[in-house]
A and B are shown apart, each in its own frame.
Chain A
Amino acid sequence: MSDVVPSGGWSRSPDDQRRYDLVSGLVIAVLGLILLAASFLTESPVPLTVRGAVVIFSAVGVAVAAGWLRPQNSQDFYGGMALILLSLTAFVASNELPGMRGIAFGPGTAPRLFAFALAVLSLVVVASGLMARGPHVTPFKVRGIVFILGAILVFAATIRTLGLVIASFACIVVCAAAAEDVRWRETVIWAAILTAFCALLFPYGLNLPFQLWPPFW
């Protein structure tokens, strides 16, 4: 399904784009600073080059927020920046792992190898996002994210403590709110049917160890 609809759009007013860059730039700068702070919490000191890269990363965020840097292709620019952040985080997180010991790889060698390669390639992506014009990022569907994630987290939080029946029912109801055309009466009935089906299928039909009801009952 994903292959039919190309993501990204071209139409967006300059004002909207400006606001988007401002917010995203600030997010980048803040995340960079958090990572920088975290790099002082590790037991062994993080190499200066990594810290320097984190500082530059934050600076780019500030530059974008202030409008000194104008990303031409938001998809590439912000996508690449996020991947750079990921690789910098990997550098900080794998800092304490020993590297090469003579001819043998240490546990830290491969993570840093991959993180380095990722950082280099992402840098190229970011650079191309600054140079060539490209589609903007289409608006995120906040409603979908909130309720779908909410439903998953509700399930995770309640499955152990309240059992399968309550967890499923709650999960389905929260989840259904993600659709714009949600109808509550229908949803409750549908949730009851699905819950009954799950409560029969998984513990009885498939013999999986599930607690159906809260243990304190």
Chain B
Amino acid sequence: MYDLIGNLWLGMGVAATASNIMLCLIGVLVGTLIGVLPGIGSLATIAMLLPITFGLPPVGALIMLAGIYYGAQYGGSTTSILVNIPGESSSVVTCLDGHEMAKQGRAGPALAIAAIGSFFAGCVATVLVAALGAPLTSVALLFGPAEYFSLMSLGLIFAVVLAKGSVLKALTMILMGLLLSMIGSDLETGAERMTFGIPELSDGIGFVVVGMGVFGFGEILRNLEHTGTLEIVQSRISGLMPTLPDLKAAAGAIGRGTILGSCLGILPGGGAIIASFAAYTFEKRVSKHPERFGRGAIEGVAAPESANNAAAQTSFIPLLTLGIPPNPVMALMVGAMTIHGIVPGPQVMTKQPELFWGMIASMWIGNLMLVVINLPLVGVWVRLLRVPYRHLFPMIVIFCCIGIYSVNNAPFDVTMTAIFAVVGYWLVKHDFEPAPMILGFVLGPLMEENLRRAMLIARGDATVFVTRPISATLLAVAAVMLLLALLPTIRGKREEVFTE
């Protein structure tokens, strides 16, 4: 406990310097700005803004990136409430009740409760990250290659189970990601693998290239299919503050949403999207008046918004302690850290405590900023939403192009992104979810390395994965999860959650 306070104090010292506060503010603002725009997700946002952080010191860069991430998360809910189109996939459920509230002239309280819920969830999650960081890091020291491999398998299985749509197709997506990640030089022997003799491929395909192609450009291609104007709530937004009964009604929902979100965020493969869905469904189930949901119930805004923010933050835990990205956004964070010469994992906390704790403390500061700056800026966001899509997407395209080019100063990377844009669009057209593919792509090299090492240590004995207790447990959990997801009854429930 004493350690916890001491560590957070150290973090505050780092995060509260003038320059870092500025970076956090810029990150949060820019993140919200882009999050508000419909049709560009947080992954593409971070990828697009990655070059902005190149010239910064590592701590500042990570603080800014984290700010962009939860800013984008928050901006997404603003769009959900005002236009009934989710700015982010994690705020899909917020549309249901949030937009309904806005139509009833209660956009102000809806936005406010989303902000308050997010802030509360952010505070709790920050403490949780700080509290769980140290013990989990010591767990990580017990992990050998076999355990790491099993843990990553578990993460991928989680991603499959929690993804929407067919479990089988999600599994194929993971394998596709793993396979694509094999392209490039072999880490141990240096052999060129599946490069087709193209020298630019010998370093492998960059994560930013795949992520931006599939999510950034791919999403634009999809959005161009259905053109139409957005219907923004026309009624004046008056009275930002929620009333006392509002707060009372939302308090329980915020608490439950926070707990649910925190738990789901830590799980590998989970993340903000599933957390918001789960919180909404749960809230509807425990409510005394479930019929109010979908007609502007304030709990229906409070619960998913708290949950997705909590999950967004706790998903840093596996990344910072075990070095394993639990979702695609965190995978991009790994990319960003690598550019700045930081290897994510347990050693970050022991060797660079100021980086670790500084980032955690900045999350709290960033959440506070979100509450303070966003409510007065609602008018600006509304005006931004009136910009037609034909002006928006050229902007996104050019920023993405420049962003990708500036990672390696390589035109080849830009060309590759075009290919992955088609791949992403094609996958969605055939109802394959690209998110598990990205996760597989990121975890691929790590998984192969640990698999090889584990096999070598065990002298080629593949049973090592089930004879070592921790590894066996992790694999057993993965197997059970997969079986449950394939069982018809659970599958029905799962679909129910996603269709609601």
Contact = CB atoms under 8 A, between A and B. Distances in A.
Given A2-B219, A79-B169, A153-B418, A198 B225 contact: no
Contact of B217 (A115, A148, A181): A148
Contacts, number: 224
Contact-residue bracket for chain A = 35 or more
B415 interface: yes
Contacts of A107: 186, 188-189, 191, 193
A171 interface: yes
Contact of B179 (A82, A86, A145): A86
A207 B405 CA distance: 14
Interface in A68-108: 75-76, 78-80, 82-83, 86-87, 90, 93-94, 97-98, 102-108
Given A3-B92, A97-B193, A175-B398, A149 B86 contact: no
Contact of A2 (B95, B394, B428, B456): B428
Given A118-B179, A152-B217, A179-B227, A208 B406 contact: yes
Contacts of A87: 179
A137 to B, nearest CB: 5
Contacts of A137: 429-430
A18 interface: no
Secondary structure type dominating chain A contacts: helix
A169 to B, nearest CB: 9
Interface in B396-437: 397-399, 401-402, 405-406, 409, 411-412, 414-415, 417-418, 421-422, 425-432
A48 interface: no
Interface string A140-178: 110111001101110111011000100010011001101
B202 interface: no
A194 B394 contact: yes
Interface in A1-39: 1-8
A65 interface: no
A125 B430 CA distance: 12
A111 interface: yes
A7 B411 contact: no
Chain B binding site: helix, strand, loop or mixed by DSSP? helix
A72 to B, nearest CB: 14
Nearest to A1: B39
A72 B41 CA distance: 33
Contacts of B411: 156-157, 159-160
Contacts of A117: 175
Contacts of A144: 220-221, 224-225
B285 to A, nearest CB: 21
Contacts of B401: 151-152, 155-156, 159, 168, 171
Interface in B356-399: 388-391, 393-395, 397-399
Contacts of B488: none
Interface of A: 1-8, 75-76, 78-80, 82-83, 86-87, 90, 93-94, 97-98, 102-108, 110-111, 114-115, 117-118, 121-122, 124-125, 128, 135, 137-138, 140-141, 143-145, 148-149, 151-153, 155-157, 159-160, 164, 168, 171-172, 175-176, 178-183, 187, 190-191, 194, 198, 202, 206-210
4 cross-chain pairs, A with B, having the tightest CB-CB distances, nearest first: A103-B460, A79-B430, A107-B186, A144-B224
Given A103-B456, A159-B411, 13 more contacts: A3-B92, A75-B429, A79-B427, A86-B176, A107-B193, A118-B176, A125-B168, A156-B405, A164-B402, A176-B390, A180-B227, A181-B390, A208-B55
Interface of B: 38-39, 41, 51-52, 54-55, 85-87, 89, 92, 95, 164, 168-169, 171-172, 175-176, 178-179, 182, 186, 188-189, 191, 193-194, 196, 217, 219-227, 273, 388-391, 393-395, 397-399, 401-402, 405-406, 409, 411-412, 414-415, 417-418, 421-422, 425-432, 444, 448, 451-452, 455-456, 459-460
